[in-house]
Amino acid sequence: MRRRSGAILAAIGLGLAGCGGEAKTTDGAWQSQMREVRMAVRGSEDDPMITRRLTAYKTYIGKATGLPVKLYESSDFNGTIQALSSGQVDIATIAGGGYANVDAQIGDLAQPILTVRQAEGDTGYYSGLLVMADSPYRSIQDLKGKTLGYVDFNSTSGYLFPRKMMRDQGIDPDTFFGRSSFAGGHTQAVMALDNGQFDATIIQAGGGDPEHGFTTGAHFTMARRGVVDLDDFRIIWTAGPIPNSAIVVRTDRPQPFIDAVRGAMAALPYDDPEVWRDIGQPDGAAYTAVTREHYAPIIKLRAEDIAARRSGVRQ
Amino acid sequence: MRRIALAAGAVLLSAAQAQTPVLPLRVADITGEAGPCGPLPPSAPAGQKAYFDLLAERLQTDVLNCPMADAATAAVALAAGEIDLARLDGAAFAPVAGKTRNVLTVRAAGALNRIPVVVAAAQGAPFRTLPDMAGASLVFGGPLKASLDVPRRALSDYGADEAFFGPQTVARDYDEAAVRLRAGEAQAMVLHAGAWQKLCRGDHPGEDRCQDLRVIWRQRPVADQAWSVRTDISDDRRFRLIGIHVALHNEAPEAFAWAVGRAGGEEFEPTEAQALLHQGPTVGS
């Protein structure tokens, strides 16, 4: 009896092995490896409603992948960077400077897969030097010896890129300004300027260009929420374009997951334009596939900046 | 013993249900001559082989080549479940649009995405639809591709070419176009959807700067060809197919060059389900 039972169990085993061997894989195999999708999102940005609106996005990605989606909210730049670098999350939306930081930590274990291509075909945005409209400052030269607010050490448009452009224009940002400090975020930078903490602050500016003006950025979002009045501010200097933020994935996740999530996100503006708008993306824009090469200039820039700081050349 | 056998049967049944073998992917190859689906012949072009190998690796299944006489035959075979992926044109797709859907198209080098276009007029304008607008004067929202070329192409796709309208001017940008429309210098304004959004989104809570205007027409240009699948395709396979194709130009340029089927393609772009069809009345229909 025992021998016959053993034979049946062995047959079951062989049967299962046979099932597994006949098909190269099975539908749903990668989902059982992943069990859930963990996405990092920035919270407390210029629009606190964004997290609530991300519910529809979460539902869309969940349906597309067949997995529950968990959003991990981080209130600062470094939180998202470390969550992705440590593998606590599978995927994150992250600016070029943040991706450069991740790349420096884990290299090929993270890969940018998509970025936004605007209706006009551009894939970049700008840094703006913002001052109060009633201030006497008309150009960056007027700010010699004055106080400047940066966004965050890991911010591309709020630190890394504009400093490079200043140096290219003969301005050493470490000595030109009287004092500079980090506000901690784009919203905080605008608030600090509005409160008189800085004479000028660096912010992100998008949805346009220096010639035609901008329509997106922290001060626009804050104005639409009634927190500030746009007429109180002026942009006196710009730097860019800077490569748009990337969707970055961990490459040690199953390739079918990477393909599925890339496909679902790329299809979003066509499949569900309302969700596309809900996550703050402009009409007419869409995702386009990118590689590490797209961010190579930012990666180089960050490496140079850190090397200069370590050598004591820069503050 | 009987209990063990029953339990064994249940385990096998459950395992079979949980581990549905991956179906092969049968790809239409419109060659002018029909043939049965099968593995690629050794004589297949290197680009086609690279494309099939990549799809097989990434979908972890067999990819079969299905020679088809023409796009119409491929569309019928797709709808009947005899193939799984086919490049179709509008004429081939229309009869099977209920059972199939478009998933991908190709963006030409230097071209823009298939961005939606908006035609807007004053609230009191005498026309309600695009076909009503014969002879109407237009102002376009700028001289760039997104503000002029794409809108003209989209309008033309719906039968409203330049000759259909009255006098047409091109403003410096969308702001100036709106000023001209509101000043009565044109009866309608043509913008791409991103410009319309920027124009109308106010800088104060709840502000809508376009309350005095009405959208007459909003459409994307019609795609001239699109890679299509059946509507009952699983989300998993559809999104993986899209995810593989949108990165193909970066990851496997030789495969991409073969897959797009014509020179000058820059990348695959996802599409809405009926990108090959008109989504509203056309002029003269």
Residue B45 lies in a domain: yes
Confidence of residue B207 (pLDDT cuts 50, 70, 90): confident
Strand, helix or coil at A137? coil
Taking the Cβ of residue A138 and every Cβ of chain B, the question of whether any pair is shorter than 8 Å is answered with: no
Residues A259 and A203 grouped into a single domain = no
Ramachandran area for residue A199 (φ above 0: left; ψ -120 to 50: alpha; else beta):
alpha
Q: What is the pLDDT of residue A42?
A: 66
Residues B195 and B228 grouped into a single domain = no
Can you give the residue range of the structural domain that contains B52? 22-111+223-270
Taking the Cβ of residue B239 and every Cβ of chain A, the question of whether any pair is shorter than 8 Å is answered with: yes
Between positions 160 and 189 of A, the ones with CB within 8 A of B are none
Q: What is the pLDDT of residue B64?
A: 98
Q: Report the residue of A122, A288, A290, A293 to disrupt the B interface, i.e. the one with the largest count of B CBs within 10 Å.
A: A288
Taking the Cβ of residue B113 and every Cβ of chain A, the question of whether any pair is shorter than 8 Å is answered with: yes
Distance between CA atoms of residues B223 and B72, nearest Å: 17
Confidence of residue A50 (pLDDT cuts 50, 70, 90): low
Distance between CA atoms of residues B205 and B238, nearest Å: 39
CB pairs under 8 A between A and B: 180
Residue B30 lies in a domain: yes
CA atoms within 13 A on the CB side of A301: 25
Six-digit token string for B120: 């807007």
Confidence of residue B103 (pLDDT cuts 50, 70, 90): very high
Distance between CA atoms of residues A102 and A109, nearest Å: 9
Confidence of residue A313 (pLDDT cuts 50, 70, 90): low
Residue-averaged pLDDT of chain B: 92
Nearest-by-Cβ selection for B194 from A23, A283, A288: A283
| Of the residues B179, B195, B219, the one at which a domain ends | B219
Cross-chain Cβ contact A224/B207 below 8 Å: yes
pLDDT digits (tens, 9 = 90+) for B124-163: 999 999 999 999 999 999 999 999 999 999 999 999 999 9
Residues A22 and A114 grouped into a single domain = no
Residues B234 and B215 grouped into a single domain = no
Residue B201 lies in a domain: yes
Residues B124 and B74 grouped into a single domain = no
Residues A85 and A168 grouped into a single domain = no
- Contact call for residues A223 and B204 (beta carbons, < 8 A): yes
Residue A312 lies in a domain: no
Q: What is the pLDDT of residue B18?
A: 47
Residues B69 and B138 grouped into a single domain = no
Residues B228 and B249 grouped into a single domain = yes
Q: Report the residue of A120, A211, A271 to disrupt the B interface, i.e. the one with the largest count of B CBs within 10 Å.
A: A120
Six-digit token string for B50: 């690279």
Residue A266 lies in a domain: yes
Nearest-by-Cβ selection for A260 from B8, B11, B239: B239
Please report, for residues A211, A227, B115, B233, the alpha-carbon distance to residue A207 in angstroms, rounded to integers and kept in the order given: 12, 20, 15, 37
Q: What angle do CA B252, B255, B257 make, to 5 degrees?
A: 105
Rg of the Cα trace of chain B?
Answer: 24
Please report, for residues A117, A259, B145, B162, B283, the alpha-carbon distance to residue B148 in angstroms, rounded to integers and kept in the order given: 18, 35, 5, 12, 20
- List chain A residues with CB under 8 Å of B53: none
Cross-chain Cβ contact A259/B58 below 8 Å: yes
Distance between CA atoms of residues B134 and B124, nearest Å: 17
3-class SS letters over chain B: CHHHHHHHHHHHHHHHHHCCECCCEEEEEECCCCCCCECCCCCCCHHHHHHHHHHHHHHCCCEEEEEECCHHHHHHHHHCCCCCEEEECHHHHHHHCCCEEEEEEEEECCCCCCCCEEEEEECCCCCCCHHHHCCCCEEECCCCHHHHHHHHHHHHHCCCCHHHCCCEEECCCHHHHHHHHHCCCCCEEEEEHHHHHHHHECCCCCCECCCCEEEEEEECCCCCCEEEEECCCCHHHHHHHHHHHHCHHHHCHHHHHHHHCCCCEEEEEECCCCCCCCCCCCCCC
Q: What is the pLDDT of residue A51?
A: 61
Q: What is the domain-level CATH number for residue B29?
A: 3.40.190.10
Residue B92 lies in a domain: yes
A285 vs chain B: nearest CA distance in angstroms?
Answer: 7
Distance between CA atoms of residues A38 and A81, nearest Å: 14
Strand, helix or coil at A248? strand
Residues of chain A above pLDDT 90, percent: 65
pLDDT digits (tens, 9 = 90+) for A162-219: 999 999 999 999 999 999 999 988 899 999 999 999 999 999 998 888 988 888 888 9
Provide the number of structural domains found in chain B.
2
Please list, in sequence order, all residues whose beta carbon lies within 8 angstroms of the beta carbon of residue A209, skipping any fewer than 6 positions away. A126, A241
Residues A112 and A258 grouped into a single domain = yes
DSSP secondary structure letter of residue A207: S
Can you give the residue range of the structural domain that contains A193? 124-243
Six-digit token string for B163: 């000759």
pLDDT digits (tens, 9 = 90+) for B177-205: 999 999 999 999 999 999 999 999 888 88
Residues A46 and A79 grouped into a single domain = yes
Cross-chain Cβ contact B235/A66 below 8 Å: yes
Q: What is the domain-level CATH number for residue A66?
A: 3.40.190.10
Neighbours of A146 (CB within 10 A): 17
Residues B151 and B209 grouped into a single domain = yes
pLDDT digits (tens, 9 = 90+) for B4-49: 555 554 444 444 444 566 789 999 999 999 999 999 999 999 999 9
Please list, in sequence order, all residues whose beta carbon lies within 8 angstroms of the beta carbon of residue A279, skipping any fewer than 6 positions away. A50, A53, A54, A57
Q: What is the pLDDT of residue A172?
A: 95
Between positions 25 and 64 of B, the ones with CB within 8 A of A are 58-62
**Phi, psi at A263, each rounded to 5°:** -65, -45
Residues A14 and A152 grouped into a single domain = no
Residues B102 and B241 grouped into a single domain = yes
pLDDT digits (tens, 9 = 90+) for B51-78: 999 999 999 999 999 999 999 999 999 9
The β-bridge partners of A128 are A203, A238
DSSP secondary structure letter of residue A147: E
Q: What is the mean pLDDT of residues B164-178?
A: 96
Q: What is the pLDDT of residue B161?
A: 96
Q: What is the pLDDT of residue B266?
A: 95
Short-list B76, B125, B102, B180, CA closest to A270: B102
Residues A106 and A43 grouped into a single domain = yes
Residues A10 and A49 grouped into a single domain = no
Residues A55 and A192 grouped into a single domain = no
Residue-averaged pLDDT of chain A: 86
Q: Which helix (H) or strand (E) covers residue A93, if one does?
A: strand A91-94
Residues A50 and A196 grouped into a single domain = no
- Check whether A6 has a pLDDT greater than 80: no
- Check whether A1 has a pLDDT greater than 50: no
- Do β-strands B226-230 and B86-88 pair in parallel, antiparallel, or remain unpaired? antiparallel
Q: What is the mean pLDDT of residues B250-272?
A: 94
Ramachandran area for residue A170 (φ above 0: left; ψ -120 to 50: alpha; else beta):
left
Provide the number of structural domains found in chain A.
3
Distance between CA atoms of residues A16 and A94, nearest Å: 43
Q: What is the pLDDT of residue A43?
A: 54
The β-bridge partners of B104 are B227, B270
- List chain A residues with CB under 8 Å of B274: none
| Of the residues B200, B219, B238, the one at which a domain ends | B219
Cross-chain Cβ contact B113/A9 below 8 Å: no
Q: What is the pLDDT of residue A52?
A: 62
Residues A226 and A152 grouped into a single domain = yes
- Contact call for residues A208 and A110 (beta carbons, < 8 A): no
